Amino acid sequence: MTTEVIKIEGMMCGHCQANVEKTIVAIEGVSEVKVDLEAKQATVTFDPDTASLDAIKAAVTDVGYTVVA
Ligand SMILES: [Cu+2]
C-alpha cells in the first residue's frame, strides 16, 4: 500500500468533496480516501500493483475537477 496526496482545484462544497471521494474510492485498488475541502487535497491509500496515481488523477479530472499536483 502507498499513500499519496493529490492537490485538487474546483471543489466548492460538501457535494464536490463527496463526489471526489466517491469517484476515487470506486477505483479498483484504492483502500482509503480522505478529501479535505479546505486544504483542497485528497489523501489516497492504494495498492500500486492495482491502481496507479495517474489513473486516480485522471478519474478526478473526468468528473470535472482540476488536479494541480
Ligand atoms: Cu460543490
CB-proximal residues (5 Å) to ion ligand 1: 12-13, 15-16
Q: What value does the mean pLDDT of the chain take? A: 98
Ligand 1 centre distance from Cα of residue 54 (Å): 23
Domain ranges within the chain, ordered by starting residue: 2-68
Distance, CA of 45 to CA of 68 (rounded, Å): 19
Q: What is the pLDDT of residues 19-47, one digit of tens each?
A: 999 999 999 999 999 999 999 999 999 99
Ligand 1 centre distance from Cα of residue 13 (Å): 4
Ligand 1 centre distance from Cα of residue 26 (Å): 19
Q: Which residues contact 39 (CB under 8 A, 6 or more apart)?
A: none
| Count of beta carbons in the 10 Å neighbourhood of residue 27 | 18
* pTM summary value: 0.94
CATH architecture under which domain 2-68 falls? 2-Layer Sandwich (3.30)
Distance, CA of 62 to CA of 9 (rounded, Å): 13
